[in-house]
Amino acid sequence: MSGENPGRRRDAARSRELLLTAASELFGERGFDRTTIRDIGQRAGVDPTLIARYFGSKTLLYIAALEAEQGGAALADLFEDERLREVFDRTDRRGPVPLLQAAVQPLGDPAAQEAARALLHKRLVGPLHERFVRKGADRPRLRAELVSAAMTGVLLGRHSGAFDELAHADPGDLIELLRDTLLSEN
């Protein structure tokens, strides 16, 4: 009997992982409101009712997907070259992640919206706010939100199909241009 439980646990862990991956992809492609539980289950290749078992609800799955994007490390702010490159690389690899989409379009579920807002502030706004406070900048929170919103727009615009040159530009060139314009600390 104990031989069955480890197999079940492995299958459960694998199903949970498949659901989380499928949800992240679909939330990134379609957004929270246009992604259904059935779509997630179909993409994952598992029974969609397992979402309730492993996550509790679509909203809690969305929150888990946002947290999975985060990882556990403390984040540097966008003035750090390595952090900026990581943001571009991740977005180029995976497309606009749910967190970026939630920054420009409110979600239909208040709990999902609040989770996205909190994580956006933790990942982007917070580290910039801390930098601006250390530098003694005027209105540090507003500056942090402005830079975060502009970067979100650049990343989403790069994948929108509306800006040909932006879409095809080398990330290194974009980072250099951003540093000269948006990310100037002067």
Q: Is residue 40 in some structural domain?
A: yes
Name residue, tokens 């420009």: 104
Quote the domain boundaries for residue 91.
73-180
CA distance 179 to 37: 41
Q: What per-residue confidence (pLDDT) applies to 75?
A: 67
Q: Report yes or no on 158 lying in a domain.
A: yes
Residue 153 has pLDDT above 70, yes or no: yes
Contact predicate 133/140, CB 8 Å: yes
Interval 119-138 mean pLDDT? 91
Kindly report which listed range (80-89, 151-160, 162-171) carries the lowest average pLDDT score: 80-89
Q: Tens digits of per-residue pLDDT, 29-84? A: 887 888 999 999 999 999 999 999 999 889 889 888 877 876 655 567 888 878 88
pTM exceeding 0.85: no
Quickly list H helices, 48-109. 50-54, 58-70, 81-94, 98-104
Q: What's the full length of the chain, in residues?
A: 186
Residue ending a domain, among 42, 65, 88, is 65
User: Within this chain, do residues 51 and 77 fall inside the same structural domain, yes or no?
Assistant: no
Q: What average pLDDT does the segment 93-120 reach?
A: 80
pLDDT at 168 over 90: yes
Q: Which two three-digit tokens encode residue 119? A: 């994580």
Confidence of residue 108 (pLDDT cuts 50, 70, 90): confident
Whether 186 is in a domain gets the answer: no
Q: How many domains does the chain have?
A: 2
